[in-house]
Amino acid sequence: MFDQLDIVEERYEQLNELLSDPDVVSDSDKLREYSKEQSDLQKTVDVYREYKQNKEDIEEMNEMLNETTDKEEVDMLKSDISELKNTLPDLEADISELKNTLPDLEEQLKLLLIPKDPNDDKNVVVEIRAAAGGDEAAIFAGDLYRMYSRYSEALGYKTEVIEMNDSDHGGFKEISFIINGQGAYSKLKYENGAHRVQRVPETESGGRIHTSTATVAVLPEAEDVEIEIRNEDLKIETYRSSGSGGQHVNTTDSAVRITHLPTGIIATSSEKSQIQNREKALKVLKARVYDMKLQEEQEKYASERKSAVGTGDRSERIRTYNYPQNRVTDHRIGLTIQKLDQIIEGKLDEIIDALTMSEQTEKLKELNNVEL
């Protein structure tokens, strides 16, 4: 038990340091989170410290008692020791009561000890592609884009389209976009994989349910300090972007295509401004090269990869959206929710929270095998 109390006290001291950190003070969310955690630990730490201090005082006085022959000093020390010893039963009783709270505190601390994904706070590049299902797959890709856009908007994130390839009957054959916001990757990293939709297309006269799929890739935006892209390794081309006709046709060579020669990875952007296109395409290129390196590292740790729902094979079917039954099922954790109409409008919190909890539970199982 006292080993556990030592850990609680150590975390309390760590929180004191964090709460005086200027970066934390300027971040209201972190400040509130750490303050609450410190408040939860306060009573346990206060009682434990008083108990330890009294024990130390008694030991010191006993040493002094053994070293002195002065009668008055001996009597005074004995009186002080007796007084301190009288406090110990009460403190031990308090600690005994606090013992019941230790399992909960221990679980809280274990969650804090779970290694944080270094990419969690980053912006993300999201790429959605229509897969099996023709026009209906493209329409579904458009639905997914709208779902992520609305979810991001609710979180206060900003969405920027990088490249899109419209489908003639609605939706997108493919679309790439950046989501800018603190913690974007921590929320959206679980969306990697194949998404399946089951519904009756508008063009289906017989009322038959069709199954279509779209793939989603979520890449953490790479920072310059994490990956070096040399100018001499880049091939940059400009071209005239295609539009949907009429006034939307681009009459200047503003679209940009960047090729990373060592890996062959390509990124494009075809918005109106060539300067912005160059910046956006370079961001996407860096994210793709960085993601390639992450995937290579993850393959070295296959057993870890299996236990993390956010890093699975992107060809794996992760979720089904069944419109006739208003049902969404996430196959990785066996979660089924009868709220498809809300989820497709961007209300993803229930699914994201469940996936986060599942991953934390798996990591806690690993921590439970290591004694704190």
Paired tokens of 356: 């986060």
Give the residue ranges of the chain where pLDDT is below 50: 1, 102, 244-251, 301-313, 370-372
- pLDDT value for 35: 87
* Dist CA 261 CA 62 (whole Å): 76
Query: 222 with 345: CB under 8 angstroms?
Result: no
- pLDDT value for 82: 76
Exposure of 179 in the CB half-sphere (CA atoms within 13 A)? 31
**How would you list the strands of the sheet with 255-260, edge to edge?**
234-239, 255-260, 265-269
- pLDDT value for 114: 63
- pLDDT value for 341: 95
Q: Which residues pair with 235 in a beta bridge?
A: 259
- pLDDT value for 250: 47
- pLDDT value for 62: 67
- pLDDT value for 311: 41
- pLDDT value for 246: 38
pTM, to two decimals: 0.62
